[in-house]
Chain A
């Protein structure tokens, strides 16, 4: 459950190590940052200037009945307002632009990184989780870049300016104003602690809720098939309630904290009035100063009140960035060699030398497998389910790396080849058919512009898919839904087969490529690709011996070991596993013949 915890990463509101890494992304936008800071200082100075000006207005002009002076101040006030507004607009616009550009960079880096992760990663990570990293988590960062960091700056600047003005007017009153601050800090500290816990809870329950829904929406027809709606609804309901309760608990702390802050601000006002009353009566302080202070208190508490919200943003962003960096640092990768051997043309000679392979350390799925395929040969792999047939082709294309031994292509260890180079020459029809939403055409070409429409039609014709495709309202441009939901399973398999042919590979791998296809179509395909395969190497995995008996070589797998090798006759003569398999089908045939 190590992964489960990942969603619960809380993060501190500020983590210097993470911040340092994040700063790297800001670097290209240095100019934006400098501009933002300058603008910020300007805005921060203009705000607190106004209460000061109104103090001047009251003390110097109103008290002295100076109409023109008052008008002058009013004019200055208005001018400062307009300047602040214009600066504010650009400040918002450019910080947002910077934030968006940064998260764009991060998103693309993350996405292309995920493309490079090994299948091992995908075996153990639910898709939904990775999707969240690339979408929601990255967006959470934006909030920090565009509003979080920058506004924290502007708040701090503003507080500094407020202090300067306050101190310059009356340091005693300033101290009185600040008397409640320690209390505020303490309250905030307590609040943080509580809310942090609740936040963790909320996140955990949210993650649980989302993954439950995701999985059960995908498998809804299984739920319905087994008429488990009632039980599933109960399960859902309890997860849903947990989530609600966690939220309600965290509302409680917010409900206490915010009114408390308000209260403190009122107390601070009371104190200021009370203290000022004495001073004014003694003539030490003016009314203008008092009004200015009352405005400053208002100004001063606003960012403080927002602070907890900012803190939330920061904390969310930090947690998100930690998860993002974890993914970026994930080293579940099959590395390309530092100095790859360049492979221009491939003959198609494949050799396995004493190959050992395990998905999980120590649990060997392939044990000491050795064989050789000559260029242009067709070889077949047979064996019971779970014997390790798919695993053999998985390691040939370096979806997984082997533990011991080596695999060579044209005499070169495949670990010395670029994966891209290696896979370019191999087309594989996977046992698990996967179609993308799009069109039939885009599913065959996968968007490769090197593949002409003609080649697409040709490939579809070769596998006999053209018949049903041409019957569709939009032919090759017919929409394909998620996972090909509106096509029959056999039809989906034909499209995925056509895909492999359209790529026109030197080496073709067929992993149960026609298992859901009817016999007539299967034979049609076989005849068609026989011609295609002349001079190319192919590996065929099939459960029906009849489809593979013409293979140049047959590998018989049993529990991860290569038990027998040879062509059909040789293997029959051996009277081993293959012979027994054959006998079973032979027996069928007897019945059919006598019928």
Chain B
């Protein structure tokens, strides 16, 4: 597929290979003629002619060699580049589910090792295969024309060579795969260990982890040596078989020479040709390994590249929808993460009016996050439909949909960039004003004042160098900066003190006029002012209404209120 794009260059490259091989194959002929000339006691000038011809031919062949690399190898980098681009483009379109089920290390190894293996195939392997294949044919026919019997003798051992290659290769592959797997394990383990180092340190598990790593590394060593046992046979076997060819030529050629049917020049040329044949045969084994690796890698890449886009625009997408007003409706929505898992959401029916603030409250793991994830289509519902402004979200262009939703997810992720760039991440182009405004609402400004570099502070990986609350408020500011029509806050105040939370909520109220907002929280104090509160219980909406209505109802919410009230009252009694 990628070959087609660079068809012309490849054809050109192959022509260069042919040309340079003709040159290379011609050189031993010149050597032969030169030596024959010496044998016949020719004048030095005659010899000189051949000598100069050798140098000239070699120069020409060299120029073509240069061009081969400039076409084929260069193209291989271009193809790798294209492949990586397509791979990344594809990754960006894969849904959350993919990322929850595949580890980062795993995806990274595809993007690096596998693409690399494919490139080695496209470049060096293709180059050497064609190069050696044609060279082999040329040489074979020239040798045949020079001395058929000797050629036959000389090549007698080579079928063994092919056999050995076949035997070794068929076993190398499995072993190689096992080594790769272990190496991936080593990488993944190190990655997890270093990411979770705080936990490991606080529970004193360093020695245990090191021991585990020792175990894995030993296994890696074992598998490596398993392969080496096999691979180490390669060179000696080739050595013997190839050497055998030389010996046969010397022996049988020698006899023919004694009988006067063969000249020294021819012997030398034969030696040179054999030398040319040996290398292709050795490299054949090497190329075969690369091809096998590339094949395995391509298979892995294709597995990802063929991964369907779960969430994308479809034929029913209405591109006339350019903006979103913010009315949201769930109609009989049900949702499950996988067919073999119990459904997480069941028959959800709810309506959120444009400009309203609604809240979701409910126990840990009842499906609040799952529910709001359906709105920006991080997942699609498995039953029923989610509507925005009366249109099924699946029919709204994904870009339009997401550009209008500001979502602060429960897990906060920040890039290792400056704080400012993190806040304006969702904007195209900069605007200091936006930063200030968003930071003010999110109550980030005070913290930033205390940073020596202010907004230009560079954050550690995932925002490691911020306090928990600072991280959370930075992601909040990031969502506010895009000026969203719908704002979703998934437990976004869990690491923020009540005082600051209160401040934020007060400013948000102002900001959210004419916008729809959805707040998930465990705290009554956060949700009580909402226009409507939904109580989620085991994947269903158990109760809905305003704070007062729900208290009146005397159900789950009222109970929850009592629980939090009880604490408060206790404290009041003190």
Taking a contact as CB atoms closer than 8 A, the residue among A71, A127, A131, A518 that contacts B522 in the complex is A518
Contact at B499–A581, with CB atoms within 8 Å? yes
Measured CB to CB, the closest approach of chain B to A304, in angstroms, equals 15
**Contacts A/B (CB < 8 Å), 6 sampled:** A107-B217, A135-B190, A291-B271, A385-B468, A482-B103, A490-B364
Q: Is A213 an interface residue (CB 8 A)?
A: yes
How far is it, in angstroms, between the C-alpha of A122 and the C-alpha of B47 when the chains are bound?
71
Given contacts A62-B257, A112-B206, A291-B267, contact A486 B564 (CB under 8 A): no
Inter-chain pairs besides A104-B221, A111-B190, 16 sampled, C-beta below 8 Å: A73-B250, A74-B247, A81-B243, A92-B236, A213-B108, A217-B104, A248-B78, A251-B77, A258-B69, A266-B57, A276-B38, A385-B497, A448-B203, A515-B494, A546-B568, A582-B571
How far is it, in angstroms, between the C-alpha of A490 and the C-alpha of B229 when the chains are bound?
51
Contact at B247–A81, with CB atoms within 8 Å? yes
Q: Is A70 an interface residue (CB 8 A)?
A: yes
Complex contacts, A210 vs chain B, CB 8 Å: 108, 112
Q: Is B302 an interface residue (CB 8 A)?
A: no
How far is it, in angstroms, between the C-alpha of A503 and the C-alpha of B84 when the chains are bound?
46
How far is it, in angstroms, between the C-alpha of A262 and the C-alpha of B59 when the chains are bound?
9
Interface residues contributed by chain A, number (CB under 8 Å): 177
Contact at A516–B399, with CB atoms within 8 Å? no
Give B227's nearest chain A residue, CB to CB: A96
Contact at A100–B224, with CB atoms within 8 Å? yes
Q: Is A34 an interface residue (CB 8 A)?
A: no
Q: Is A214 an interface residue (CB 8 A)?
A: yes
Given contacts A291-B268, A446-B199, contact A424 B208 (CB under 8 A): no
Complex contacts, A426 vs chain B, CB 8 Å: 202
Given contacts A115-B206, A276-B38, A280-B38, contact A220 B91 (CB under 8 A): yes
B 453-505 contacts with A by CB, 8 A:
460-462, 464-465, 467-470, 472-473, 478, 482, 491, 494-502
Complex contacts, B246 vs chain A, CB 8 Å: 50, 54, 77
Q: Is B296 an interface residue (CB 8 A)?
A: no
Contact at A274–B66, with CB atoms within 8 Å? no
For the residues of A in contact with B, the DSSP-based class is: helix
Give B402's nearest chain A residue, CB to CB: A227
Given contacts A277-B47, A546-B567, contact A494 B107 (CB under 8 A): no
Q: Is A344 an interface residue (CB 8 A)?
A: no
Interface residues contributed by chain B, number (CB under 8 Å): 181
Measured CB to CB, the closest approach of chain B to A455, in angstroms, equals 14
* Interface 1/0 per residue, A125-169 and B, CB below 8 Å: 011101100110001000000000000000000000000000000
Give A237's nearest chain B residue, CB to CB: B85
Give B78's nearest chain A residue, CB to CB: A244
State which of A10-18, A405-413, A519-527 sits at the interface with chain B: A519-527
Taking a contact as CB atoms closer than 8 A, the residue among A115, A383, A516, A572 that contacts B497 in the complex is A383
Complex contacts, B210 vs chain A, CB 8 Å: 108, 111-112, 115
How far is it, in angstroms, between the C-alpha of A116 and the C-alpha of B178 when the chains are bound?
31
Measured CB to CB, the closest approach of chain A to B187, in angstroms, equals 5
Q: Is B275 an interface residue (CB 8 A)?
A: yes
* Interface 1/0 per residue, B50-78 and A, CB below 8 Å: 11101101110111011011100110011
Contact at A584–B561, with CB atoms within 8 Å? no
How far is it, in angstroms, between the C-alpha of A54 and the C-alpha of B243 when the chains are bound?
12
State which of A25-33, A82-90, A182-190, A312-320 sits at the interface with chain B: A82-90
State which of A348-356, A372-380, A529-537, A587-595 sits at the interface with chain B: A587-595
Taking a contact as CB atoms closer than 8 A, the residue among B93, B254, B337, B491 that contacts A516 in the complex is B491
* Interface 1/0 per residue, A237-274 and B, CB below 8 Å: 10011011001100110111011101100110111011
* Interface 1/0 per residue, A451-473 and B, CB below 8 Å: 00000000000000000100101
Across chains A and B, which 10 residue pairs bring their CB atoms closest together, nearest first? A385-B469, A490-B364, A266-B58, A255-B69, A259-B62, A85-B236, A546-B567, A226-B426, A259-B65, A92-B232
State which of A192-200, A335-343, A428-436 sits at the interface with chain B: A428-436
Q: Is B432 an interface residue (CB 8 A)?
A: no
Q: Is B8 an interface residue (CB 8 A)?
A: no
Taking a contact as CB atoms closer than 8 A, the residue among B48, B89, B195, B376 that contacts A233 in the complex is B89
Contact at B469–A434, with CB atoms within 8 Å? no
Given contacts A115-B209, A210-B112, A269-B31, contact A262 B66 (CB under 8 A): no
How far is it, in angstroms, between the C-alpha of A486 and the C-alpha of B208 when the chains are bound?
26
For the residues of B in contact with A, the DSSP-based class is: helix
Taking a contact as CB atoms closer than 8 A, the residue among A81, A233, A287 that contacts B39 in the complex is A287
Give B34's nearest chain A residue, CB to CB: A273
How far is it, in angstroms, between the C-alpha of A294 and the C-alpha of B30 when the chains are bound?
13
How far is it, in angstroms, between the C-alpha of A376 and the C-alpha of B425 when the chains are bound?
48
Q: Is A512 an interface residue (CB 8 A)?
A: yes
Q: Is B2 an interface residue (CB 8 A)?
A: no
How far is it, in angstroms, between the C-alpha of A382 and the C-alpha of B496 when the chains are bound?
11
How far is it, in angstroms, between the C-alpha of A213 and the C-alpha of B65 when the chains are bound?
35
How far is it, in angstroms, between the C-alpha of A101 and the C-alpha of B228 when the chains are bound?
13
Measured CB to CB, the closest approach of chain A to B477, in angstroms, equals 13
Complex contacts, A430 vs chain B, CB 8 Å: 198-199, 202
Complex contacts, A517 vs chain B, CB 8 Å: 364, 522
* Interface 1/0 per residue, B100-129 and A, CB below 8 Å: 110110011001100000000000000000
Complex contacts, A371 vs chain B, CB 8 Å: none
Contact at B402–A224, with CB atoms within 8 Å? yes
Contact at B51–A273, with CB atoms within 8 Å? yes
Q: Is B547 an interface residue (CB 8 A)?
A: yes
Contact at B77–A248, with CB atoms within 8 Å? yes
Complex contacts, A496 vs chain B, CB 8 Å: 199
Contact at B497–A434, with CB atoms within 8 Å? no
Q: Is A179 an interface residue (CB 8 A)?
A: no
Taking a contact as CB atoms closer than 8 A, the residue among B99, B188, B197 that contacts A220 in the complex is B99
Complex contacts, A134 vs chain B, CB 8 Å: 186, 190
B 403-425 contacts with A by CB, 8 A:
403, 405, 407, 409-411, 413, 415-416, 425
Contact at A131–B203, with CB atoms within 8 Å? no
Q: Is A222 an interface residue (CB 8 A)?
A: yes
Give B263's nearest chain A residue, CB to CB: A287
How far is it, in angstroms, between the C-alpha of A130 and the C-alpha of B405 when the chains are bound?
37
Q: Is B523 an interface residue (CB 8 A)?
A: yes
How far is it, in angstroms, between the C-alpha of A585 and the C-alpha of B500 when the chains are bound?
12
Contact at A359–B465, with CB atoms within 8 Å? yes
Contact at B112–A432, with CB atoms within 8 Å? no
Q: Is B428 an interface residue (CB 8 A)?
A: yes
Measured CB to CB, the closest approach of chain B to A393, in angstroms, equals 10
Contact at A217–B572, with CB atoms within 8 Å? no
Complex contacts, B233 vs chain A, CB 8 Å: 89
Given contacts A248-B77, A482-B192, contact A494 B364 (CB under 8 A): yes
Taking a contact as CB atoms closer than 8 A, the residue among B38, B47, B81, B224 that contacts A244 in the complex is B81
Complex contacts, A483 vs chain B, CB 8 Å: 195
Q: Is A225 an interface residue (CB 8 A)?
A: yes
Complex contacts, A499 vs chain B, CB 8 Å: 199, 203
How far is it, in angstroms, between the C-alpha of A258 and the C-alpha of B81 when the chains are bound?
25
Contact at A432–B65, with CB atoms within 8 Å? no
How far is it, in angstroms, between the C-alpha of A241 and the C-alpha of B77 when the chains are bound?
10
Give A464's nearest chain B residue, CB to CB: B364
Complex contacts, A248 vs chain B, CB 8 Å: 74, 77-78
Measured CB to CB, the closest approach of chain A to B29, in angstroms, equals 13
Contact at B251–A390, with CB atoms within 8 Å? no
Contact at B264–A287, with CB atoms within 8 Å? yes
Contact at B81–A241, with CB atoms within 8 Å? yes
Contact at A423–B201, with CB atoms within 8 Å? yes
Complex contacts, B197 vs chain A, CB 8 Å: 115, 119, 122
Complex contacts, A263 vs chain B, CB 8 Å: 55, 58-59, 62
Contact at B54–A244, with CB atoms within 8 Å? no
Q: Is B194 an interface residue (CB 8 A)?
A: yes
Q: Is B284 an interface residue (CB 8 A)?
A: no
Q: Is A345 an interface residue (CB 8 A)?
A: no
Contact at A84–B239, with CB atoms within 8 Å? yes
Complex contacts, B58 vs chain A, CB 8 Å: 262-263, 266-267
Given contacts A123-B460, A386-B467, contact A229 B92 (CB under 8 A): yes
How far is it, in angstroms, between the C-alpha of A501 and the C-alpha of B92 when the chains are bound?
40
Complex contacts, A584 vs chain B, CB 8 Å: 498-499, 502
Given contacts A221-B99, A490-B365, contact A586 B225 (CB under 8 A): no
